């Protein structure tokens, strides 16, 4: 899957920060030696303060005034970690000693609370990403205003917490790809903050060295997974709530404190707009990927606004800018308030134009490092939208869903459960049963990936779960073929290749070539949120009209026709499932299995995404020709004809009438870079 990084366009960074060296081949010792002695140093340098003041006086005046009003209203209170950092920022902008005095008082109280809570509450450590960021920024911005005694006290408390989190941590929290739940980032940032401080130099060096290698390993893993496409494992909600903010911390501190510029390498931020635009349902909400919410739960829209507006400002990305406005219902020339006003003030630019993708963008985007393909007809509420997954086992919050897909039109049609329901039973892929449930081997079962197994990418077994071996998108169809046999326990299948073909706009043909031992039963399944209708070899999934996050979804239908195996029996079951950390949810499952004894029967299904008003699905026929098998579908004023190879490499032929399309399905992976446009 790996391809070389391709620089696309000109990278625009915020005005802050000195000229920095591109790339990074430095050891922790070398990074420590490069840390500047100047203050501030984390997000910007002393020479950037005039530009900061100008920003607050002009195009970010409204954002700054909101922060200042909040600070003024809480000037005499202990405040919060965020209020402490905001007070420190107002001090830098105004130079008013009253803000320095209030900020120092708040900082001492907040750091003391930070130490006490970190000792008492194990869960607080995992959820402290934003609190610790605010405390480190406040310390950096108030350092020159603090007397030596206060500097020592703050440094001692921050060092104590950082050391404790490194020493007192269960092994399952040490997953490098996910950042060790702030352990590595916390140690590195405290080290960078206090290096050359004159009060904690040895401790700072110790922490920076302890945190830098795993933090940098994590960043390299994320760079390689994003490649030049974008995205991040574990879904959109975790990306905006934690992971991409951790990326920002690392990039900003390396650039300002150590003089190393890595912004151009981070396509998870650089292409955040494209990833979100292809992945999000409209009305704007998140698809269900991994443990992330899907509009029923857990949509952190405030953090999404922060990340998208920051990415737009950093990389001059009109798509990210427009998505931030769409999420916050903001008009041109403005930006909505997100969850993190400081990041938005420093990185975003409301003056930038915004635009959703137009017809020059491809109908599908292959995020190659993730193993995801996102497909959509357009960017309107009436769009047909589908996602296909073939992930390797990379880190926490993934599910056992290799080969799974989601389909959306007016609502969730081919769906899955919300929350941390990892099992394959709740995903739209195959089960391979041998006297058990037939689920895939868990993406978590290989255990924690040590650093020497995280890199290089691609991952070695047992982390390699499958591969997209063919991909093509054009104005008529998108075709994906994925080898997913490796996702199952050893001995379940000698071959399992899923072909996922989307005929624009609403027809999906899914062909599964599977070869199993005689004692293994293959079961095809698709999941629904509402009870489906099942009759013979046909089924209908309905998504009712509903309101999600203040937006109305009009509802839709998914007509399903089972063509192979010839004696397949369709059935529906209602299942209540439990998952990690107390998660539970329920799902309807439509299953197809062969009533015969042939273990090598392929599965062939046609799915049609329809409006609520359509009473019947399209006309569908099974087609055989010269050792190939497929379907003829009459839908949307066209006749779609596909034949798939039943042996040898994936592929086949498609015909579309009256458009005059006649093509061989690709056996290669079509290259895409940047936003996917040619």
> What's the pLDDT at 116?
83
Kindly write down the DSSP assignment for every residue of 545-592, as one continuous string: -EEETTEEE--EEEEEEEEESTTEEEEEEEEEEE-GGG-EEEEEEEEE
CA–CA gap between residue 242 and residue 406 (Å, rounded): 25
> What's the pLDDT at 215?
86
> What's the pLDDT at 23?
60
> What's the pLDDT at 290?
78
Beta bridge partners of 541: 558
User: What is the tens place of the pLDDT at every residue in 5-55?
Assistant: 223 223 334 445 656 665 668 999 999 999 999 999 999 999 999 999 999
Relative to beta strand 412-414, strand 430-433 is unpaired
Q: In which residue are the tokens 């402490």 written?
A: 84
CA–CA gap between residue 507 and residue 41 (Å, rounded): 55
Write down the number of H helices and E strands in the chain.
Answer: 18, 26
CA–CA gap between residue 437 and residue 487 (Å, rounded): 15
CA–CA gap between residue 84 and residue 575 (Å, rounded): 48
Q: Which residues contact 367 (CB under 8 A, 6 or more apart)?
A: 229, 230, 231, 275, 373, 374
Beta bridge partners of 408: 385, 412
Task: Please give the torsion angle defined by the CA atoms of residues 31, 267, 373 and 471, in that order, rounded to the nearest 10 degrees.
Answer: -100
> What's the pLDDT at 177?
55
Which residues in the chain come in under a pLDDT of 50? 1-15, 121-125, 294-297, 446-458, 460
User: What is the tens place of the pLDDT at every residue in 84-111?
Assistant: 999 999 999 999 999 999 999 999 999 9
Tokens at residue 628, please?
């190939």
Q: Quick one: which of 608, 610, 648 has its CA closest to 626? A: 648
Whether the CB-CB separation of 514 and 603 falls below 8 Å is answered with: yes
* Radius of gyration for the alpha carbons in the chain, expressed in angstroms and rounded: 26
The answer, yes or no, to whether the previous bond of 462 is cis (omega within 30 of 0) is yes
Beta bridge partners of 571: 591
Beta bridge partners of 635: 638
- With a pLDDT cut of 90, the percent of the chain lying above it is 65
Question: What is the model's pTM?
Answer: 0.92
């Amino acid at each position: 899957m790996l391809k070389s990084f391709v620089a696309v366009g000109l990278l625009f960074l915020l005005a802050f920060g000195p000229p920095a060296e591109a790339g990074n081949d430095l050891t922790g010792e070398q990074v420590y030696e490069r840390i500047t002695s100047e203050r501030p140093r984390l997000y910007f340098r002393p020479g950037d303060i005039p530009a900061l003041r100008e920003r607050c006086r002009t195009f970010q005046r409204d954002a700054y005034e909101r922060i200042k009003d909040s600070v003024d209203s809480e000037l005499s209170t202990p405040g919060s970690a965020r209020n402490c950092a905001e007070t420190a920022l107002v001090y830098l902008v105004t130079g008013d000693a009253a803000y320095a005095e209030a900020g120092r008082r708040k900082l001492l109280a907040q750091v003391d609370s930070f130490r006490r809570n970190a000792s008492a509450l194990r869960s607080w450590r995992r959820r402290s990403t934003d609190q610790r960021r605010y405390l480190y920024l406040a310390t950096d911005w108030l350092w020159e205003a603090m007397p030596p005694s206060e500097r020592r006290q703050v440094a001692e408390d921050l060092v104590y917490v950082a050391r404790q989190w490194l020493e007192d941590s269960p092994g399952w929290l040490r997953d490098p790809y996910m950042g060790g739940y702030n352990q590595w980032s916390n140690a590195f940032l405290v080290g960078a903050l206090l290096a050359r401080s004159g009060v904690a130099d040895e401790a700072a060096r110790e922490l920076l060295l302890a945190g830098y290698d795993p933090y940098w390993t994590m960043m390299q893993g994320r760079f390689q997974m994003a490649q030049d496409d974008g995205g991040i494992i574990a879904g959109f909600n975790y990306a905006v709530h934690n992971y991409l903010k951790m990326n920002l911390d690392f990039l900003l501190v390396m650039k300002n404190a150590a003089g190393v510029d890595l912004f151009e390498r981070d396509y998870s931020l650089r292409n955040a707009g494209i990833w979100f635009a292809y992945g999000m349902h409209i009305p704007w909400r998140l698809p269900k990927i991994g443990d992330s919410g899907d509009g029923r739960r857990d949509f952190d829209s405030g953090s999404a606004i922060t990340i998208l507006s920051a990415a737009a400002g950093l990389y001059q990305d009109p798509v990210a800018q427009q998505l931030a406005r769409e999420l916050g219902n903001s008009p041109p020339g403005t930006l909505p308030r997100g969850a993190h006003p400081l990041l938005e003030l420093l990185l975003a630019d409301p003056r930038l134009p915004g635009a959703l993708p137009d017809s020059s963008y491809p109908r599908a985007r292959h995020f190659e490092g993730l193993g995801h393909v996102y497909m959509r007809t357009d960017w309107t509420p009436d769009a047909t939208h589908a996602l296909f997954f073939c992930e390797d086992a990379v880190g926490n919050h993934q599910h056992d869903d290799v080969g799974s897909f989601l389909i959306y039109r007016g609502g969730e049609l081919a769906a899955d459960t919300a929350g941390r329901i990892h099992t394959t039973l709740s995903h739209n892929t195959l089960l391979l049963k041998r006297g058990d449930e037939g689920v895939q081997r868990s993406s978590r079962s290989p255990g924690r990936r040590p650093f020497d197994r995280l890199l290089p990418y691609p991952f070695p077994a047992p982390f390699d779960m499958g591969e997209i071996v063919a991909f093509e998108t054009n104005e008529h169809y998108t075709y994906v073929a994925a080898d997913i046999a490796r996702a199952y326990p050893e001995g379940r299948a000698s071959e399992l290749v899923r072909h996922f073909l989307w005929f624009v706009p609403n027809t999906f043909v899914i062909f599964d070539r599977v070869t199993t031992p005689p004692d293994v039963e293959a079961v095809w399944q698709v999941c629904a949120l509402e009870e489906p209708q099942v009759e013979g070899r046909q089924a209908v999934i309905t998504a009712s009209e509903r309101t999600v996050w203040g937006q109305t979804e009009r509802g839709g239908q998914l007509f399903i026709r089972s063509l192979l195996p010839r004696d397949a029996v369709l059935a529906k079951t209602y299942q209540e499932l439990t998952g990690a950390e107390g998660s539970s949810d329920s799902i309807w499952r439509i299953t197809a299995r062969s009533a015969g004894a042939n273990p090598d029967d392929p599965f062939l299904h046609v799915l049609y995404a329809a409006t609520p008003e359509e009473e019947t699905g399209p006309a569908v026929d099974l087609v055989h020709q010269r050792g190939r098998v497929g379907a003829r579908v009459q839908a949307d004023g066209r006749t779609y004809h596909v034949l798939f190879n039943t042996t040898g490499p994936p592929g086949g032929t498609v015909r579309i009438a009256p458009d005059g399309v006649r093509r061989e399905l690709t056996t290669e992976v079509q290259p895409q870079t940047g936003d996917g446009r040619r």
